[in-house]
Chains A and B, each alone.
Chain A
Amino acid sequence: EVQLVESGGGQVKPGGSLRLSCAASGFMFSSYNMNWVRQAPGKGLEWVASISSSSSYIYYTDSVKGRFTISRDNAKKSLYLQMDSLRAEDTAVYYCARDAYDNSGSWYYDLWGRGTLVTVSS
């Protein structure tokens, strides 16, 4: 089955760290760019970070630069998000999403995991 499954969420104190994982199955993980998107409780979607298929290109939203690190292990078919110096405003459901590419030049997120909840609270 083609799917993404996130894990690693939980409750952590401000200033703490957490590492999220996203396990891919059913498709050639190494061929796809991957992304993390988050959603704070009751709020909209926010793109967090992206990594290209070979890890050559990495991008972050400004609010997590210097605190979060996206990485991947193509041999293990896994995507990661190392989150350090966590803040209350990082509280959210974190989704991993696969980047699909259409020959017309369009990119879109065609496969999503169910998400993992990160709560930053003292």
Chain B
Amino acid sequence: AIQMTQSPSSLSASVGDRITITCRASQGIRIDLGWYQQKPGQAPKVLIYGASSLQSGVPSRFSGSGSGTDFTLTISSLQPEDFATYYCLQDYSYPRTFGQGTKVEIK
């Protein structure tokens, strides 16, 4: 199974900050990676798919990049509603695997 290593596991940031979350795959997965946001008590929501395609309705402050084994999710200017946990998910092969998650907290 492909292992997805996400970092950091948590971070503290202020409104307006630019933050970056990384995900590394244990083998090349082309651009077959998505990013999901989950708020407490809610189901996850897709933000980015295909490594860099923004899901309809998602604010443009979210962006994704990368290919092969290394990927990043960037939030250009953190907003109050962005404090949540973020997960990467590889869709290159089965079993599908998520990263461990990154909890973004208010500083």
Contacts and interface: CB of A to CB of B under 8 A. Distances in A.
Interface residues of B, number: 26
B84 interface: no
A47 to B, nearest CB: 4
B77 interface: no
A89 interface: no
A47 B46 contact: no
A117 B89 CA distance: 22
Contact of B43 (A50, A61, A102, A113): A113
A107 interface: yes
Contacts, number: 69
A114 B32 contact: no
A104 interface: yes
A45 B98 contact: yes
* Interface of A, helix, strand, loop or mixed by DSSP: strand
Instruction: Identify which of A46, A107, A108, A112 gathers the most chain B CB atoms within 10 Å of its CB.
Output: A108
Interface string A99-115: 01010111111101111
Interface in A20-44: 35, 37, 44
Contacts of A37: 44
A44 B32 contact: no
Interface in A74-97: 95
Contact of B95 (A61, A95, A100, A105): A61
Interface stretch (B14-22, B48-56, B67-75): B48-56
Contacts of B32: 105-107
16 contacts: A44-B87, A45-B87, A45-B89, A45-B98, A45-B101, A47-B96, A50-B96, A95-B44, A102-B49, A104-B53, A107-B49, A109-B46, A109-B89, A110-B55, A112-B43, A115-B43
